[in-house]
Amino acid sequence: MNLAKEFAAAGPGCAVANGLLNCFETTKVKLQLHNHAKPVYDTPTTRGVMMQIAREEGIVRGLMTPGLSASLTRSMLYGSYRVGLYSTTKEWLSGDGKDNLSHRMLSGMFTGGLGSMISCPLDVVRTRMQADAGVVRNGKYVTGLKKGDAVRYRGMISAFLTIFKEEGLKKGLYRGASVTVLRASLLNGAQLASYDTLKRSLNWNEGPALHFFCGFASGVIAQTAVMPVDTIKSQMMLGSGWKDVFATLRSNGPFYLYRGLAPACAGQGLIMVLQMPLIEEFRRLLGIKAI
């Protein structure tokens, strides 16, 4: 029964936070995939891309809603596993209930990897919908990264069916799954372990102030650690292979792997600021102890 409550607290908390801050995820994907040889955005910085998208496509349509349906569905599923199983896994690993940093890291990595493996197709769909997003006229994009191209997907279900039909399961919906699972394992391990450890290190009373501070700090720490894998994941989900990744790395240098770090850290930090207090409050209402 406790496990069901853990899932019920985690899923909605993750979905609300990710949905409200979808604009940062959209901007991050656009920046990661921006081709400097054929520039679409006049100023390829976080502020520049967001301002141009807002001007050309509108704040809601251009920044807040691309891939939102897939993002919310993924958050409910992925969040339930990555956070909902964390405490149970941590207790099982420690045995006597006296967990340490390695127990927290391993628990977060396991639950994050498991959740990602299950929700990978939704991640592919979300990334492609965000990358494709733009104003459409006569069946073609007139703004965005796909400017001049015909519209591929009409929505989340359309994207699922089209990708499965044209590319199959392994090379389509699970494209880049190894990188995606690795990214989720590292991100979740770093995020939940740092959140958990920071809470124990600070002599603050359990409550919103503690949850807000530890949530933001853990989000920035985790995103910085996982950014190189995150960039590779986005490129592979759009159809690139390892040869393309290495070619891009050779031509752009190692800092290419940290392209989009600012919106990614802002998004992840703010997501955690919303997500962790919400999850902690849902846990309290359901009678479960805080993480």
Q: Which residues pair with 141 in a beta bridge?
A: 136
Return the higher-pLDDT residue of 115 and 237. 115
pLDDT digits (tens, 9 = 90+) for 67-124: 999 999 999 999 999 999 999 999 999 987 789 999 999 999 999 999 999 999 999 9
pLDDT digits (tens, 9 = 90+) for 145-194: 999 999 999 999 999 999 999 999 999 999 889 888 999 999 999 999 99
Looking up tokens 């691309």 gives 66
Q: Which residues contact 35 (CB under 8 A, 6 or more apart)?
A: 145
Please state which of the ranges 48-62, 210-224, 249-263 shows the lowest mean pLDDT: 249-263
Question: What does the pLDDT read at residue 12?
Answer: 93
Instruction: Please report how the helices 86-94 and 68-84 are oriented relative to each other, as an axis angle in degrees rounded to 10.
Output: 20
Backbone angles phi, psi at 141, to 5 degrees: -75, 135
pLDDT score of 248 more than 90:
no
What's the whole-model pTM score? 0.84
Rounded to an integer, the average pLDDT of 26-54 is 91
Cα distances from 57 to residues 60, 64, 142, 207, in angstroms, run 8, 11, 10, 40
* 3-state secondary structure at position 140: strand
∠ CA(276), CA(281), CA(283), 5° rounding? 95
Round the average pLDDT of the chain to a whole number and report it. 92
Which of 147-150's residues contact partners 24+ apart within 8 Å by CB, and which partners? 147/40
pLDDT score of 56 more than 90:
yes
Give the confidence band of 264 by pLDDT, cuts at 50, 70, 90.
confident
Q: Which CATH class is domain 2-285?
A: mainly alpha
Give the confidence band of 256 by pLDDT, cuts at 50, 70, 90.
confident
Buried b / exposed e over 155-182, threshold 16 CB at 10 Å, is: ebeebbebbeeeeeeeebbbbbbebbbb
Give the confidence band of 1 by pLDDT, cuts at 50, 70, 90.
low
Question: What does the pLDDT read at residue 132?
Answer: 95
